[in-house]
Structure 1
Amino acid sequence: MYITITPQKLGGNYSQSSADFIGYLEKENQGLEQVGMEHFFNQYDDGIAAEEVVKEIDGNTAKLKNKEPKFYSITVSPSKYELARLQNNSECLKRYTRELMKDYVASFNREVGGRAVNLGDIKYYAKIEHQRTFKGTDKQIKENQPYATKILTLKNEIRKIEKGYLQGSIRQLEKEIAKLERQAPHHQNGKRIVQGMAKAGDQSHIHIVVSRKDASNSFSLSPGSKYKASEVEMHGKSVKRGFDRDKFFESAEKTFDRTFGYNRNFVETYKARKDFIKNPNMYFNSLMRLPINEKTIAFKLLSETGMPIMGSIPTSQAQVALKVFNRLRKGLDIAIKSSSIGI
């Protein structure tokens, strides 16, 4: 389970309105019949139109400055193992979203009218998507790029030969292109992975748009707060502030496991990924102390997904983490041979 919380982009492709972002989330519906479309929903309603989402989010921005985000985007990406546990992706993910937002409000250290924040205080809209495409930032695209550049150069040469601007053997150039296509390190369904190609497998995930202001348009509820929990003096009164992201991420996993009966392995947990970054040796020791069957499953997960990187790691910590991961790899064969679980 990977969850990200991102503030609205105020420059570049995104304006002061939420319209561009909501329009982007509508991309999968293009060309589909009404029955096949995924619509926006919130805690209480289904089938909400994109136009209504824009109207509600844009109209809930009282006293926010131009450079302050008007909304936050929460992206929830279950793993393929988590998705496999669901009976009906769309309905199950919708159900999970509504449970997840209970964890979201519980993670605020804020009071509204002298009480803790509750579901009625937030204004959010969510949408399920089932596709992902490879982006320029993906590892597969970056590592295929040198081959893509050479292939493009050769194709340009072929066009010049065809137009009479250059002499050469088109057949020979085509052979070189075919060789480069094979040599590229990353393929999917027999084809070199390129930017914009749809990713294979179940890619279902959730996008949630949450207004920065509460539903009454009176209070600011920012999950981007740098404080987990603190109090500050404002207008002669003590005011609570903060949002505990660690609590939210950990609660999100527990809610999924409880809702769908999912048995989460150590390496799938938010805490484990955080330990890997902050204290790789602690991560390694915890992994090696797992019961043998759980440890074998953990190594299987690691071998399929690679290092459990979460966010950016400082260089010094990355070097330590790499050493630890190499130790993990050396232990992989031993863990498999000593277990009764086949991989």
Structure 2
Amino acid sequence: MYITISPQKLGGAYSQSAGDFVSYLEKENEGKDLMDKEYFFNQYEDQIKPYQVIKEIDGNTAKLKLKEPKYYSLTISPSQYELKHIQNNPEKLKAFVREAMKEYAGSFNREINGRPVNIDDIKYFAKIEQERTYKGYDLAVRENKPFSNQIAHLKNEIRKVERGEVSGNIRQLEAEIQKLVREAPYKIQGKLIEPGMKKEGLQTHIHIIVSRKDASNTYSLSPGSKYKASEVEMHGKIVKRGFERDGFFQKSEQAFDKMFQYNRNYVESYAARKTLSKDPKQYFLSLKSLGINEKKIAFQLIRQTGMQLPVLHLPQSKVGFAVKQLKKIIETGIKSSSIGY
């Protein structure tokens, strides 16, 4: 389960309206019949149309400054294991989003009219998407790039030969291209993975657009606050402030596990990913201490493409240690026959 929170992009291709973002989220509906289209939903309603989303978000921005985000974007990306567990059921995903948004509301360390923030204070609209495409920053694209560049050069040479600009053996150049394709590390059905190519397997995820202002258009609720949950004295009064991101991520995971009786492995957890980035030694000690069956599942999750082990996102000084330790633990597991291939 990966959850991200991003502020509205200001300037460039994004205007002060939510219209551009809503249009972007409508991309999978292009060319579909009316019955096959995916609609927006919120805590209590389904089949909300795009123009309603734009109207509600754009009309809920009282007293926000020109350069302040008018909304935030949340993306919830269940793993392929989680999606398989619930049979990729859209109704179950909607039910989970509604529980997760309760946790979102509860993660604000704020009070409205003397009470904690609750789900009815949050104005949001969510949309399920089924597809993902490779981006330039994806590992597969980055590691394929040297091969893609050489192939592009060879194809350009072939065009020059065909136009008579240079002499050359087209058949030999084509053979070199095929050799590069075979040697490239990441392919789908024999084709090099490149930006824009659709990812294989279950890729269902949910985009959520959340108004910066509460549902009454009175209070500002920012999940991007630089303050963690805390209290501060202002004008002689104690004021609560901040948003607890870690709590939101962890409680959302727990809500999924409870709703669908999902037995989450250690390496799937937000807590484990955070430990890996902050303290790799502790991460690998925890991995090493797992029971045999849980360790076996952990290694399968690490190996398979559905699991993104964030070793690559570690600070450079920690990457070598992390990879070395992971390799050592996996090799030990193989030798003890605790991992099934």
Q: Shorter chain as normaliser: what TM range? A: over 0.9
Alignment check: 8 A CA contact 1:130 1:204 kept: yes
Instruction: Give, in whole Å, the separation in 1 of the partners of 2:85 and 2:39.
Output: 23
Q: Secondary structure at the match of 1:262?
A: coil
Q: Secondary structure at the match of 2:128?
A: strand
Letter in 1 for 2:136: G
Cα offset for 1:22?
A: 1.0
**Aligned match of 2:269:** 269
**Aligned match of 1:63:** 63
Alpha-carbon displacement from aligned partner over 1:160-219 (angstroms, at most 9, x marks no partner): 222222222222222222222222111112221111111111100110111111011111
Alpha-carbon displacement from aligned partner over 1:81-115 (angstroms, at most 9, x marks no partner): 10001145211111111111111111110001110
In structure 2, stretches of 5+ residues that fail to align are none
Q: Secondary structure at the match of 1:166?
A: coil
Cα offset for 1:312?
A: 4.1
Q: 1:315 to 1:279 in 2, by over 3 A?
A: same
Superposition pairs of residues 113-128 of structure 1, within 5 angstroms: 113-128=113-128
Between 301-310 and 232-241, the greater mean CA deviation after superposition: 301-310
Instruction: Give, in whole Å, the separation in 1 of the partners of 2:234 and 2:51.
Output: 37
Instruction: Tell me if 1:314 matches 2:315.
Output: yes
**Aligned match of 2:130:** 130
Q: State the TM-score, normalizing by the size of structure 2.
A: 0.95
Q: Secondary structure at the match of 2:310?
A: coil
Alpha-carbon displacement from aligned partner over 1:149-169 (angstroms, at most 9, x marks no partner): 111112122222222222222
Superposition pairs of residues 1-343 of structure 1, within 5 angstroms: 1-305=1-305, 308-309=309-310, 312-334=313-335, 337-338=337-338, 342-343=340-341
Cα offset for 1:21?
A: 1.1
Query: RMSD of the alignment, in Å?
Result: 1.8
Between 242-251 and 149-158, the greater mean CA deviation after superposition: 149-158
Alpha-carbon displacement from aligned partner over 1:128-169 (angstroms, at most 9, x marks no partner): 000001111111111111111111112122222222222222
Letter in 1 for 2:228: K
Instruction: Give, in whole Å, the separation in 2 of the partners of 1:200 and 1:308.
Output: 18
Letter in 1 for 2:152: L
Q: Secondary structure at the match of 1:140?
A: helix
Cα offset for 1:117?
A: 0.3
Q: Secondary structure at the match of 1:31?
A: coil
Letter in 1 for 2:254: K
Alignment check: 8 A CA contact 1:229 1:241 kept: yes
Alpha-carbon displacement from aligned partner over 1:10-50 (angstroms, at most 9, x marks no partner): 13221221111111111000011111111100001111111
Alignment check: 8 A CA contact 1:278 1:317 kept: no
Letter in 2 for 1:272: A
Q: State the TM-score, normalizing by the size of structure 1.
A: 0.94
Instruction: Give, in whole Å, the separation in 1 of the partners of 2:311 and 2:227.
Output: 20
Instruction: Give, in whole Å, the separation in 1 of the partners of 2:239 and 2:312.
Output: 31
Q: Secondary structure at the match of 2:153?
A: helix
Q: 1:311 to 1:43 in 2, by over 3 A?
A: farther
Letter in 2 for 1:89: N
Q: 1:88 to 1:132 in 2, by over 3 A?
A: closer
Alignment check: 8 A CA contact 2:312 2:319 kept: no
State how many pairs are aligned: 340
Instruction: Give, in whole Å, the separation in 1 of the partners of 2:176 and 2:4.
Output: 42
Letter in 2 for 1:127: K
Letter in 1 for 2:193: I
Between 45-54 and 325-334, the greater mean CA deviation after superposition: 325-334
Q: 1:243 to 1:279 in 2, by over 3 A?
A: same
Letter in 2 for 1:34: L
In structure 1, stretches of 5+ residues that fail to align are none
Alignment check: 8 A CA contact 2:88 2:204 kept: no
